[in-house]
């Protein structure tokens, strides 16, 4: 009689599954999200992150331009 590990016991009980990256619910492995609502939330948050990173990049480029202008004005 062999003892199975707790991971094997869980796999046996629940079967192959993955978890939704938004809400964490268990779902079949072939799906990326558990519902259309979670899919929409994910894509909305990705758009916000992309917009935020663009704004940060433009701010950094603007600050560097201002620093170069001051560097050459006062040297």
Distance from C-alpha of 23 to C-alpha of 35, rounded to nearest angstrom: 10
Distance from C-alpha of 72 to C-alpha of 65, rounded to nearest angstrom: 11
Check residue 61 and give its pLDDT: 98
Cα dihedral sign, 45-50-54-59 = positive
Contact of 42 with 33, CB cutoff 8 Å: yes
pLDDT along the chain (75 residues), means of 10: 68 82 90 94 96 98 96 84
Q: Any idea how long the chain is?
A: 75
Distance from C-alpha of 12 to C-alpha of 23, rounded to nearest angstrom: 24
Check residue 50 and give its pLDDT: 98
pTM of the model as a whole: 0.65
């Amino acid at each position: 009689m062999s003892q199975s590990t707790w991971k094997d016991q869980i796999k046996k009980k629940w079967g192959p599954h993955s978890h939704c990256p938004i809400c964490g619910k268990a779902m079949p492995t072939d799906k990326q999200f558990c519902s259309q609502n979670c899919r929409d939330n994910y894509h909305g948050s990705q758009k916000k992150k992309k917009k935020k990173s663009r704004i940060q990049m433009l701010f950094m480029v603007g600050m560097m331009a201002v620093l170069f202008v001051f560097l050459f004005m006062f040297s």
